[in-house]
Structure 1
Amino acid sequence: MEIIDFIIAHYGWEGTALAGVILIMFGVQLYYYLFIYGRIPKYKDSRRPEILSENPPVSVVIPLFSEDYTFVEETLPLILAQEYPSFEVVIVYVGRDTDFFDDLVRIRQTFPQISATKIELNPRFPISPKMALNVGIKSAHYEHILFTTSDSYPTSDRWIALMANGFRRGEIVIGYCGLEKSKGLSNYLMRTWRMMHSIDWLSSAVAGHPYRGTRQNYGFTKQRYFGVNGFNHLNMNIGEDDLFLSRIIARGNVSVVLSPRATLREKCWGGLKWWTSTQRFFGAAFAFYPIRVKNFIQWELGSRILFGLASVVALAVMPWEFKAAVGVLLIARVTTVLIEVRRIAKRLGEEKIGRRYLLYDLFSPMYAIWLRILQLRKDERVWR
């Protein structure tokens, strides 16, 4: 009490309150980066009990919503070259191009593990990704199914093997998918945004509280899928990797696969404008997340903003010794964040994230606020 009385007498109630905000928000930041996000680099799924004695055969389901020859010529060979003894690739083509579908069928003559199904495209009755995935799940020959997208590709020939190994300890497997690396600051910011927002659900999953995966790299069993009569939120064109997974997830039935060799890369189709449109589209599902999940996600961003604003005020108006103390806290936070981000990036197979991370750390709160403002307006692409 004497210390508090001294601080109040020396800095006033306003200065004491400011110090309290800075210290509390600093503590929240350390808690996130050291004790929540810090679980990712040291996580080992092998510590969990096995439910299968060996890796199962798997079906890889991929929906195609266009005549994507880039996928056929570049991505599909990377999947077929996977080092795994028993897998099939189920391609669900949604379109009207008979020649393209015939090409897919002909590939089966060389690679018998491919199966292709066509859904005739009718503009009057749009086909959602969930409908295509449902057809793929029913067409799959194996109980254990992995899902990815046509614009994502594996970074090693061990992707299927590592994800299939996850099924030995869970009925649901979730992995990481980063963005394709290219030159430019905008690509760096997008890649870092993808990684930092992925560690929210990855860190929660490794702690035993999973709530979602990523549509480019996840899987589940047929039994889990048909046990709840398929996908939910059928009035939305999104949600198969978060709103549906949160429905079938139970404590202990999720395997988290964290390895650079199990990482996928999603192709970038533009710059920040494309990225903002994409984030607005898929971010519409956030409104349906449980309150505890929303709070978990928002507390890191909120504490970062409050810590930064309170520190700026202190550096501007408080005495020199107060400024010095705040400076020490700022340096401590930056050091902790950079160390942990580099450790996480290494575990997920991300390259050169740490070098310019302070730029992301500074500007991402403003971008997050801008996204929230955009999401106040209903995105018609989301709804059917």
Structure 2
Amino acid sequence: MFDILFYVLIGVTAIQLVYYVVVFGKFSFAKVQKSNPKRIPISIIVCAKNEGENVRKFVPLLLEQNYPDFEIVLIDDSSSDNTLDLFEEFEKQHSNIKLVKVQNNEAFWGNKKFALTLGIKAAKYDYLLFTDADCYPTSKEWIKEMSSNFTLKKTIVLGYGAYEKIPNSFLNKLIRFETLLTATQYFGWAKTGKPYMGVGRNLAYKRDEFFRVNGFIDHMKLRSGDDDLFVNQASNSENTTVCFSKESFTFSMPKTSFKEWFDQKRRHVSTATYYKSFDRFQLALFFFSQLSFLLLAIILLAFQHQWMIVLPIVLFRYIFTWTSLGYAANKLNEKDVIYWFPIMEIALIFTHLNVFFTNIFSKPVHWK
């Protein structure tokens, strides 16, 4: 029995080695990017529903961007608070702001993708840069950094959407660790030539890509997925690149209760079930290898006379995973969470397992 479990542990560790070193390492160990400004006109797209407090704070930060030619397309998705009033004031005061008002439509009731489609069509420029209403750029060079990655072939740019730090909060560290791990995954796969997702908090693409796949039409019935499902459908090794310079990040406030974050994770996981077959497989294999390693390590270390054989394998696995994520954390300014890596990984594994079983018995709620 011990021999069988031991060899399975070796196999699972080998799978983890491929992920963390071969795939994720494409990003973790990549050289620091040097921007090559393009100065192409950019349309920033921001869709908001009942985000009055956030848009009051964050739209002015978008207006302060150090970039010669850009517009901001503000989309009000049938808000019931003062979001529309604020958008109208911004439009009156700034000539480079365009307002798109979305009325409730029976066929697309409360569907963010419908609102975004109207905003994309209304945009003046062909190159689009997306962020959420509760996000803000980390620097005045955000547009320059993201747009500098566009080329004649590279028409989809995946950026990093970080979360603000809340001191002395375990939940905050867990959320930021999960964000770090997810970014390391989608950056690594993109640099390997297999891009599979991006985040709407920081994403750019040429409008031609949107129309090439008929926009969100293939998954319009799903309330979420305007970012990751679109990228999963439209991206490939030829048209997709990544941007991870520290001036290109965006920030947003993370959830402050476990329930809110758990519900958010349920939405994300439910959307991932619509990814391409290979992407679903590699994500499932990664999670299976994480969970299996943890359980096998615990079981095998419990064999009193065999633990010295198992321990080197366990230590080897933690050394290469910690190293890979450590380099990624340095690039993404998340070094403080990596110190808690073993604890964070265990908490995240069982959170995802809980999400999986919860989604089997009930459907998550989407968009506001």
TM-score w.r.t. the length of structure 2 is 0.91
In 1, Cα distance between equivalents of 2:103 and 2:338: 46
* Aligned partners of 2:29 and 2:328 also within 8 Å: no
The match for 1:199 among 179, 184, 192 is 184
Whether the 8 Å contact between 1:145 and 1:219 is mirrored in structure 2 is: yes
TM-score normalised by structure 1 residue count: 0.87
What is the CA–CA distance in structure 2 between the aligned matches of 1:198 and 1:118, rounded to whole Å?
33
**Residue 314 (structure 1) aligns with:** 300
- Specify the SS of the correspondent of 2:47: strand
Q: How many angstroms apart in 2 are the aligned matches of 1:179 and 1:98?
A: 25
Equivalent in the alignment of 2:328: 344
Q: Do residues 222 (structure 1) and 207 (structure 2) align?
A: yes
**1:22/1:289 CA distance change after superposition, 3 Å:** same
Residue number in structure 2 paired with 1:22: 9
Query: 1:97: Cα distance to partner?
Result: 6.1
**Residue in 2 that maps onto 1:135:** 118
Gaps of 5+ in 2: none
The amino acid across from 1:130 in the alignment is: K
Instruction: Tell me the matched-pair count.
Output: 364
**CA 1:67–1:341 in 2, change beyond 3 Å: closer, same or farther?**
closer
After TM superposition, give the deviation of residue 245 of structure 1 in Å.
2.1
Look up the equivalent residue of 2:283 and give its one-letter code.
Answer: I
Q: CA deviation at 1:357?
A: 1.5
Specify whether residues 200 and 69 from structure 1 end up closer, same or farther in structure 2 by C-alpha distance, changes over 3 A only: same
1:54 aligns with 2:54: no
- 1:264 pairs with one of 250, 254, 257: 250
Tell me the C-alpha RMSD between the 2 structures. 2.5
Conserved? CA contact 1:83–1:157, under 8 Å: yes
Asked if 1:241 corresponds to 2:227, the answer is yes
- Counterpart of 2:274 (choices 288, 296, 311) is 288
> How many Å separate the matches in 1 of 2:232 and 2:82?
39
The unaligned stretches of length 5 or more in structure 1 are 1-13
1:43 partner SS: coil
Alignment equivalent of 2:193, drawn from 201, 208, 215: 208
Deviation, structure 1 residue 121? 4.2
Does the residue aligned with 2:157 lie in a helix, a strand or coil?
Answer: strand
* Residues 1:187 and 2:137 aligned together: no
Q: Which residue matches 1:150?
A: 133
Q: Work out the CA distance in 2 between the residues paired with 1:67 and 1:123.
A: 22
Q: 1:277 to 1:97 in 2, by over 3 A?
A: closer
Following TM superposition, by how much is the alpha carbon of 1:287 offset from its aligned partner in structure 2, in angstroms? 1.5
Q: Could you tell me which residue of structure 2 aligns to residue 119 of structure 1?
A: 102
Take 2:293 and 2:197, find their aligned partners in 1: how far apart are those partners?
Answer: 28
Which digits, 9 at most, give the CA deviation of each residue in 1:154-189, with x for residues without a partner? 111121111111212511111111222113111111
Residue 24 of structure 2 is aligned to residue 37 of structure 1: yes
Aligned to 2:357: 373
Shift of 1:339: 2.0
TM-superposed deviation, 1:380:
5.8
After superposition, the Cα gap between the structure-2 partners of 1:190 and 1:383, relative to the gap in structure 1 and judged at 3 Å, is: closer
Whether 1:65 aligns to 2:65 is no
Mapped to 2, the partners of 1:371 and 1:228 lie a distance apart of 30
Distance in 1, Cα, partners of 2:211 & 2:290: 42
Displacement of 1:274 after TM fit? 0.5
TM-fit CA distance, 1:62? 0.4
1:172 aligns with 2:156: yes
Give the letter aligned to residue 319 of structure 2.
Answer: T
Shift of 1:101: 3.1
SS at match of 2:339: helix
CA distance in 1, matches of 2:298, 2:51: 53
Matched residue type, 1:247: Q
